[in-house]
């Protein structure tokens, strides 16, 4: 009769293999690696997005623009004045950087409405950024954990941009940035991120910025 006796250690190893677990060679303790639930994944993403709205670089405030005929920058800043984000406080004289000849500049500051959308840049507090909504996660999907990087998980998610401020739909802004309306329709978009497990919890590491619309550039 063949010997059917199996050593206990072999039985444990086989069980762990089926369960998707591994035993630490140093401690002998079982290390269970499980993919987080969709609820956990949505919470990890939404927690980050609630604290980090969709923002993009903006003009440093107070902003100044040289007054000259057909000035593009003046028209650009005046669009935000018409939208209620900025207000023009008057003109100042500044010497030309090369010739020293005095030149006239228009000066702009933020309005109370603008204060709700303007904030210091996260990468440089001396610079200004403008925020125009936040991501609301609709659904999340993920693959399995990589045994070589068990504390990192790539996810794909669908989201909608919500809490979009009213100034983004003002006539002056839409005319100057005709492509903006197409990005703020509330339609469902898709994106992907890498989550990290820190102290047992899944989180989204700090990102530089999610905003893809640069208001400081020429009209999109």
What pLDDT is stored for residue 19 in this prediction?
39
Closest CA to 145 of 45, 25, 21: 21
| Cα–Cα distance measured from residue 71 to residue 197, given in angstroms and rounded to the nearest whole number | 50
Q: Please, is 122 exposed, middle or buried when counting C-beta atoms within 10 Å of its C-beta (0-12, 13-18, 19+)?
A: middle
Closest CA to 118 of 55, 51, 28, 39: 55
Strands (DSSP E) along the chain, which ranges? 21-23, 30-32, 55-57, 63-66, 86-95, 102-110, 118-120, 128-131, 134-142, 152-162, 189-198, 201-203
pTM: 0.73
- Cβ(16)–Cβ(30) under 8 Å? yes
**What are the residue boundaries of the structural domains of the chain, listed by start?**
36-54+132-203, 63-117
| Cα–Cα distance measured from residue 87 to residue 112, given in angstroms and rounded to the nearest whole number | 10
CB neighbours (10 Å) of residue 151?
A: 13
The two structure tokens encoding residue 34: 């499980």
pLDDT tens, N- to C-terminus, the chain (220 residues): 555 555 544 444 443 443 344 444 444 444 456 788 889 999 999 999 999 898 888 999 999 999 988 889 999 999 999 999 999 998 888 887 788 788 899 999 999 999 999 998 777 776 899 999 999 999 999 988 888 888 999 999 999 999 999 999 999 999 998 888 777 888 899 999 999 999 988 999 876 555 567 788 765 5
């Amino acid at each position: 009769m063949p010997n059917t006796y199996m050593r206990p250690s072999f039985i444990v190893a086989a069980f762990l293999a089926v369960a998707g677990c591994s035993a630490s060679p140093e401690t002998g303790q079982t290390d269970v690696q499980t993919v987080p639930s969709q609820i956990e994944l949505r919470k990890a993403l939404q927690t980050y997005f609630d604290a980090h709205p969709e923002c993009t670089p903006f003009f440093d405030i107070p902003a100044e623009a040289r007054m000259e005929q057909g000035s593009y920058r003046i028209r650009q800043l005046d669009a935000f004045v018409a939208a209620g984000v900025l207000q023009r406080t008057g003109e100042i004289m500044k010497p030309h950087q090369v010739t020293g000849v005095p030149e006239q500049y228009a000066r702009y500051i933020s309005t109370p409405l603008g204060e709700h959308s303007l904030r210091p840049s996260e990468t440089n507090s001396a610079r200004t950024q403008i925020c125009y909504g936040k991501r609301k996660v609709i659904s999340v999907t993920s693959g399995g954990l990589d045994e070589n990087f068990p504390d990192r998980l790539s996810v794909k998610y669908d989201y909608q941009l919500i809490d979009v401020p009213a100034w983004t739909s003002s006539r002056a802004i839409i005319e100057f940035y005709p492509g903006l309306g197409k990005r703020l329709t509330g339609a469902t978009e898709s994106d992907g991120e890498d989550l990290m497990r820190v102290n047992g919890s899944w989180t989204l590491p700090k990102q530089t910025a999610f905003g893809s619309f640069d208001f400081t550039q020429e009209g999109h």
